[in-house]
Amino acid sequence: MMNRNWNPVTHKYGKMRPFDRTIPPSIRNTFSELATRAIQEAQFLTKKKYRECNEKEVLPSMTPDICIVNFYTDNGKLGLHQDRDESKESLRKGLPVVSFSVGNSAYFLYGAERNAKKAKSVALDSGDVLIFGGKSRHVFHGVPAIFPNSAPKQLMKDSCLSPGRLNLTFRQF
Ligand SMILES: O=C(O)CCC(=O)C(=O)O
Ligand SMILES: [Fe+2]
């Protein structure tokens, strides 16, 4: 387990969370298993669609040891960026980022350049899993908008989630 903190200001992984000077907790097994299963499922679907491919080259497996949690209020957004603060080896191997969306839906932009006009977009709803790895590991991506009040009503009833969008990304440092 890494127990590292990602600092969004310095873009570096460090030992402690600056706001409370504690070491981040380990990822619970139930969560890392979800991420691992999502990759297996995606590899299976890749193989089904492209019979000739090596699905583990297209989408390598990984053991998650980092989880970055983002919470977006209804006017929250995230500009186009690449995720490249993980280890050189992880990036070189294209170990995937596995992203879970919970709560309000969002627009997700992705493309080969840092250019929102050229980017493709997809809506991410509560419960969606998005994976980028292999050749797509360095894809530019961002969240230009959240759809207010779009979370499943039952989720809001059953959980203590504040109105907004929760995103969890799992990675291997
Ligand atoms: O919220 C999302 O869907 C994307 C989050 C993201 O890109 C990140 O944490 O690096
Ligand atoms: Fe990202």
Q: Phi and psi (nearest 5°) for 36?
A: -65, -45
Residue 64: pLDDT band by 50, 70, 90 thresholds?
A: very high
What's the mean per-residue pLDDT of the chain?
Answer: 97
- Using DSSP, state whether 72 is helix, strand or coil: strand
Q: What mean pLDDT do residues 153-157 have?
A: 98
Percent of the chain topping pLDDT 70: 99
Question: pLDDT tens-digit profile of 83-142?
Answer: 999 999 999 999 999 999 999 999 999 999 999 999 999 999 999 999 999 999 999 999
Q: Phi and psi (nearest 5°) for 140?
A: -75, 140
Distance (Å, rounded) from C-alpha 114 to C-alpha 12?
21
Residue 122, pLDDT score: 98
**If you take atom 6 of ligand 1, which residue's CA is the nearest one?**
142
Residue 166 Cα to ligand 2 midpoint, Å, equals: 14
Domains of the chain (ranges plus CATH)?
5-171 (2.60.120.590)
Q: Which residues approach ligand 1 with their CB closer than 6 A?
A: 68, 70, 78, 83, 99, 108, 141, 143, 167, 169
- Using DSSP, state whether 134 is helix, strand or coil: helix
Does 14 score more than 90 pLDDT?
Answer: yes
Residue 1: pLDDT band by 50, 70, 90 thresholds?
A: low
Does 40 score more than 70 pLDDT?
Answer: yes
Residue 69 Cα to ligand 1 midpoint, Å, equals: 8
Q: What mean pLDDT do residues 140-146 have?
A: 98
Residue 76, pLDDT score: 98
Residue 70: pLDDT band by 50, 70, 90 thresholds?
A: very high
Distance (Å, rounded) from C-alpha 130 to C-alpha 165?
15
Residue 59, pLDDT score: 98
Which residue from 104, 167, 173 has its CB within 8 A of the most atoms of ligand 1, so it is best to mutate? 167
- 168 and 98 in contact (C-beta within 8 Å)? no
Does 2 score more than 90 pLDDT?
Answer: no
